[in-house]
Amino acid sequence: MAMPGTETIRFRRPTNVAGPTKVEEKDQFGNAAPSGWKRRHQGLLQDQVGRQRNGPVVPSLSFAFRLLMLVRFTGAMYAIISDCDEVFNFWEPLHYFQHNSGWQTWEVSAQYAVRSWAYIVAHWPFAFLGPKFLGLGERQQFFALRICLAAICSFAEAKFFRTVVTEVNERVGRYMFFMMLFSAGMWNASTAFIPSSFVMYTTMLAASYWFHPATSTPTGKRRAFLATFFTALGAILGWPFAAALGLPFVFEYLFVAGGEIVAPSNRIVWGSGRMNTLIRAVSWSACLAIPVAAFDSWAYGRNTFPTLNIILYNLFSKGGPDLYGTEPWYWYIANLFVNFNFLTLAALVALPALLFTYKFDFRRLGKTQMKPKEGESSPYLLLAIRLAPFYLWFIFMSLQPHKEERFMSPIYPFLCFNAAVTIYLVKGWQETLFINLTHSPYRASQTSMFSNFALAAVLLPCLISLGRIAATLKFYQAPFNVAYYFQYTTLPNVLSDMGYEPLPLREGRSGEDVQHEWDLTPLQNMTHPINLCYGTEWHRFPSSFLVPEGVNTQWIQTNGEGMMPRHWNPSGPAGAWPREETRVVHFGRFNDMNEPSAEPGAYLPVEQCHYLVAVSLPSQQFSEKEPDYVHDDAWNREFCTTFLDAASSRPWSRFLWFPWGVGEKGRVYGEYCLLRQKGVEINTEGL
């Protein structure tokens, strides 16, 4: 017996009860999965220095998604709309579908049916169900959809990133992750409501399956089906030309052993099995066209398939997309450099870097770090196939005369992947050279020069991209700022002048600034609504979601000679379809030649405008149809903000913005204003 206050240890006799045994992990072939440090070296690219060390810190799928979502959410709230096609071909039809008002273009008319209502309406739940449940308005619907797009993109990016980590290399995955996280291109494309961004999502999801080396196992077949499905989803529901991004996968699955060893005597049987799997995957995925075509035929009121229509328009129409401008072959190089700076060059030289590695650093690739056996695929070939989508799309699009920034969106993730591979290979050359010079792998494992190079190669482009993102917000945010001021300051002042008062609010805490809220529904009862006009700035119209109901948006005549968007005619349901007008053909209203409409009513006389959104830039050439409204005595300035005059500014100063006045001397600004016309009173009849 122990003395009081004395601590003792009590031993238990061994027990014969067996505890749970850990299930041995196996790979898809049934073999024992690698353990320990060998887990790190199952990808195509192999570390040569510090192979038996713990690997770098790599975010999990969940953590990567949350980090990406943080940045993408910010983009959803603040990113500008850089392409008027996004507004008029997608935001406006969606607004019409729900609110029975908005702008229509020839592409969404029943006469041409180039845009898919299936794609547009697929976004309807994201925009309306949440805000409806919370009792929110149109502006909140706009941002709700962008937040949902941010979440979808974040998941696709995280899934693609984790596949690169496991199947290529941990360090390559980390490089690519931060490139995608901070690049200006991904910032703009991730939350854009446009098919090219949708294709970017589906392409990343497809790549997250086909980046695994192809096999004929049940796991390999499942991945082949999913890769084919997501490629088909992007092509059928989004943009048909995106099917080209699936060609490298098809090539590997049909002609490359991938993750298997195929004996020459078994080649025919193996190839037949692969072909059979791919045919079934393509056949099942192609069935997506049936509901999409059926939905669009229902929406347009005739048998049609917009996915096919857009191909026919681009290939066989009289004018085609070239009517909207052409650019030289190198235009995409310059554009990608603006959005990704030096990463563009790194992506373009990925294949040459791989060839150089094959010659001088051969052991950098492959699990065995040896030449492949008979019937085994070369890791160099497998990596080249994964580098191919970027080159394939870049060359294909560069050969087209008509070029737009959004056309490159589908390969933004592949650009980051190619650039990450290049940085990793160059880092590997440095390691190999160091070892050859010092004859000391140990010293190579202790120096930080290689990691410092990789850090600089990734960090510097990311910082430059942040400068580009800041530039878009600083220089071109004015259209959103004007729309916000109009809704939250101008219209409340109008209602206040009519005798209305803001909604009663709780009293704020001490020192808290409580902003008054206004009910703008009285504007909808006006017999003669407020006219908000756009002239030369019509292409920067931020969408009807950001203009309250009861305000009539109109265009005024300018020097432009092309065809303008027209108001949708309000309409009721046609059976179960809520908008009969989508089925009506107005002959003469639209054409596919970018010629002025033969039907009058495209413009409102400027004398009838209550408010006008206009810009005054030093580089502008004013005329009778396009006067300087900002400095016209007939108009009062309701709100003005700065807007960069790109034509007058030096090229290097307009692409990036950094604090402390860096580059400010090379910039020239104009004024972007909301104007109130003198002498044009608002008719309050109906209130």
DSSP sequence for 55-119? ------HHHHHHHHHHHHHHHHHH-----HHHIIIIIHHHHHHHHS--EE-GGGSTTT--S-HHH
Q: In the structure encoding, which two tokens stand for residue 579, read together?
A: 């908008």
* Token couple for 268: 């025919």
Q: In the Cβ-directed half-sphere of 268, how many Cα atoms lie within 13 Å?
A: 1
Kindly state the average pLDDT of the residues 401-417: 97
Considering only residues 440 and 473, tell me which one the structure prediction assigns the higher pLDDT.
473
What's the pLDDT score for residue 16?
A: 61
Which pLDDT belongs to residue 238?
A: 97
User: Coil, strand, or helix at residue 582?
Assistant: helix
Residue range 558-613, pLDDT digits in tens = 998 889 999 999 998 888 999 999 999 999 999 999 999 989 999 999 999 999 99
Indicate if the pLDDT at residue 468 is higher than 90. Answer: yes
Characterise 341 by phi-psi region: left (phi > 0), alpha (psi -120 to 50), beta (else).
left
Residue 674 burial (CB count, 10 A): 24
Digit-coded pLDDT (tens) for 65-79: 999 999 999 999 999
Distance CA 231, CA 321 (A): 24
Q: What is the pTM of this model?
A: 0.93
pLDDT attached to residue 43:
87
Mean pLDDT (the chain, rounded): 92
Give yes or no for a contact between 672 and 642, defined as CB atoms under 8 angstroms apart.
Answer: yes
Residue type, 658: F
HSE toward the beta carbon, residue 436, CA cutoff 13 A: 8
Closest C-alpha to 116, from 18, 238, 26, 215: 238
Greater confidence (368 vs 556) lies with 556
Enumerate the domain spans of the chain: 78-475, 478-502+516-564+603-677
**Quick count: other Cβ atoms within 10 Å of Cβ 488?**
16
Residue that wins the pLDDT comparison between 231 and 370? 231
Tokens at 356, concatenated: 């150089």
Q: SS in 3 state form for 282-297? A: HHHHHCCHHHHHHHHH
Q: Which two tokens stand for residue 51?
A: 């192979």
Over 90: is that where the pLDDT of 35 sits?
A: no
Residue 47's pLDDT band (cuts 50, 70, 90): confident
**pLDDT at 15 (0 to 100):** 63
Cβ distance 307 to 256 under 8 Å? no
The reported pLDDT for the residue numbered 34 is 59
Which tens digit of pLDDT belongs to each residue from 241-266?
Answer: 999 999 999 999 999 999 899 999 89
pLDDT for residue 515 is more than 80? no
How high is the pLDDT of residue 440?
A: 87
% of the chain residues with pLDDT over 90: 77
Nearest to 584 by CA among 92, 110, 104, 106: 110
Query: What pLDDT is recorded for position 642?
Result: 97
Tens digits of residue pLDDT in 82-106: 999 999 999 999 999 999 999 999 9
Q: How far is CA 532 from CA 476, 478, 499, 528, 631, in A?
A: 20, 16, 22, 12, 18
34 DSSP 8-state letter: P
Whole-angstrom distance between the N-terminal and C-terminal Cα of the chain?
95
Q: Is the dihedral of CA 403, 408, 409, 410 positive or negative?
A: positive
Residues contacting residue 169 through CB under 8 Å, at least 6 positions apart: 43, 44, 45, 46, 47, 424
Contact 530, 550 (CB under 8 A): yes
Q: What is the pLDDT of residue 444?
A: 86
